[in-house]
């Protein structure tokens, strides 16, 4: 996806390497970044910095919603987003739709600090395509998180307007979506497309930018849409016992994530 661009990480050992029904799954032990999960040659996460993305992808929408009882995660086969949702006692039901059960198995076996997310009794795992799953859901969820890979291979369908229309129909009144929004540096076309779709479909739209050293550009976006609640400031306050478990998210970082460089502001306005 990034011709001419690569990140170099020294690999000490290949822990797992197999082609599933959907993609090549590789898990490496790196010299500096701990274990690293790679799908079709694209870094999904490293133990070094996965907390940045998992925390913000989860806590931005969940703290923006005043009372998130039912939550859906699409993608996220590593379990990291589920781990973060598990910190919210207010959540009563967590549906989870992942297309590739091999990713779940690899994470549970080799990445227990992420795979632990599946241990939560509120989680209902569905194996299948997230787009097919969402088209069957109406008025079902307070928050939907799309922790997808990139718009190639099985993830491609999760970057289309029809999928976002399905997300909107699956929300309860006042519902919120948060999706993997690519990079304002490396994927400006995709950022513009996703922002344009969410602005057209949702009453409130916002785009957050976070630091993730191992993602292309060293950052990634979170594209958000809301049927009511504002997104740029938390609707619920985080209690100290949860805050002490985190490394990235704070109420201040919540607000700061939506402050974008001028070129990105213009990109989103023109989208
Ligand atoms: N955190 C990573 C990132 O931001 O790039 C992605 C996390 S996770 C590894 C991405 C997951 O999306 C993978 O497990 C992949 O199998 C899943 N996925 C891709 N396409 C999908 C689809 N159409 N329906 C459901 N899950 C899908």
The tens digit of pLDDT for each residue in 18-40 reads: 999 999 999 999 999 999 999 99
CB atoms within 10 A of CB 202: 22
Note the pLDDT tens digit of each residue in 151-163: 888 889 999 999 9
Burial (CB count within 10 angstroms: exposed 0-12, middle 13-18, buried 19+), residue 139: exposed
Residue 122 has pLDDT above 80, yes or no: yes
In this structure, the residue with its CA closest to atom 8 of ligand 1 is: 76
Instruction: Quote the mean pLDDT of the chain.
Output: 96
Q: How far is the CA of 66 from the centre of ligand 1 (A)?
A: 27
pLDDT confidence of 1, banded at 50, 70, 90?
Answer: confident
Q: List the domain boundaries for the chain.
A: 49-270
pLDDT confidence of 83, banded at 50, 70, 90?
Answer: very high
Query: Which ligand 1 atom minimizes the distance to the CA of 153?
Result: 20
Percent of the chain residues past pLDDT 70, beyond the cut: 100
In this structure, the residue with its CA closest to atom 11 of ligand 1 is: 75
Note the pLDDT tens digit of each residue in 91-115: 999 999 999 999 999 999 999 999 9
Note the pLDDT tens digit of each residue in 215-227: 989 999 999 999 9
The radius of gyration of the chain's CA atoms, rounded to the nearest angstrom, is 17
Decide: 99 in ligand 1 pocket, CB within 6 A.
yes
pLDDT confidence of 271, banded at 50, 70, 90?
Answer: confident
Q: How far is the CA of 75 from the centre of ligand 1 (A)?
A: 4
To the query of whether residue 95 is one of the catalytic residues in this protein, the response is no
Q: What is the pTM of this model?
A: 0.96
Decide: 97 in ligand 1 pocket, CB within 6 A.
yes
Query: Which ligand 1 atom minimizes the distance to the CA of 212?
Result: 4
Does the domain spanning 49-270 belong to CATH 3.40.50.150?
yes
The DSSP letter of residue 116 is: G
Residues facing residue 10 across a β-bridge: none
pLDDT confidence of 149, banded at 50, 70, 90?
Answer: confident
Residue 144 has pLDDT above 90, yes or no: yes
Mention every residue, 6+ apart, whose C-beta is less than 8 A from residue 25.
16, 17, 18, 19, 37, 38, 39, 100, 102, 103, 106
For position 261, what pLDDT does the model report? 97
Tell me the three state secondary structure of residue 130: helix
For position 190, what pLDDT does the model report? 92
Query: Which ligand 1 atom minimizes the distance to the CA of 22?
Result: 16
Decide: 147 in ligand 1 pocket, CB within 6 A.
yes
Burial (CB count within 10 angstroms: exposed 0-12, middle 13-18, buried 19+), residue 41: exposed
pLDDT confidence of 138, banded at 50, 70, 90?
Answer: very high
């Amino acid at each position: 996806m990034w011709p001419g661009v690569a990140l170099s990480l020294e690999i000490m050992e290949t822990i797992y390497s197999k082609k599933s029904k959907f993609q090549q799954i590789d898990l490496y032990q790196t010299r500096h970044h701990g274990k690293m999960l790679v799908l079709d040659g694209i870094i999904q996460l490293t133990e070094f910095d996965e907390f940045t993305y998992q925390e913000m992808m989860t806590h931005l929408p969940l703290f923006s919603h005043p009372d998130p009882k039912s939550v859906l995660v699409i993608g996220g086969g590593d379990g990291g987003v589920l781990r973060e949702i598990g910190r919210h006692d207010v959540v009563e039901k967590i549906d989870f739709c992942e297309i590739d059960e091999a990713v779940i198995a690899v994470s549970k076996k080799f990445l227990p600090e992420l795979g632990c997310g599946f241990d939560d009794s509120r989680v209902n795992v569905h194996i299948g395509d997230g787009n097919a799953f969402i088209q069957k859901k109406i008025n079902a969820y307070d928050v939907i998180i799309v922790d997808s890979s990139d718009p190639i291979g099985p993830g491609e369908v999760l970057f289309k307007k029809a999928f976002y229309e399905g997300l909107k129909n699956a929300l309860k009144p006042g519902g919120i979506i948060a999706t993997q929004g690519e990079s304002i540096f490396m994927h400006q076309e995709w950022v513009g497309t996703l922002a344009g779709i969410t602005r057209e479909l949702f009453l409130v739209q916002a785009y957050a930018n976070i630091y993730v050293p191992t993602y292309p550009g060293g950052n990634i976006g979170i594209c958000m849409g809301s049927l009511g609640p504002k997104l740029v400031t938390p609707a619920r306050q985080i209690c100290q016992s949860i805050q002490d478990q985190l490394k990235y998210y704070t109420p201040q970082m919540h607000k700061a994530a939506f402050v974008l460089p001028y070129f990105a502001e213009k990109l989103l306005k023109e989208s």
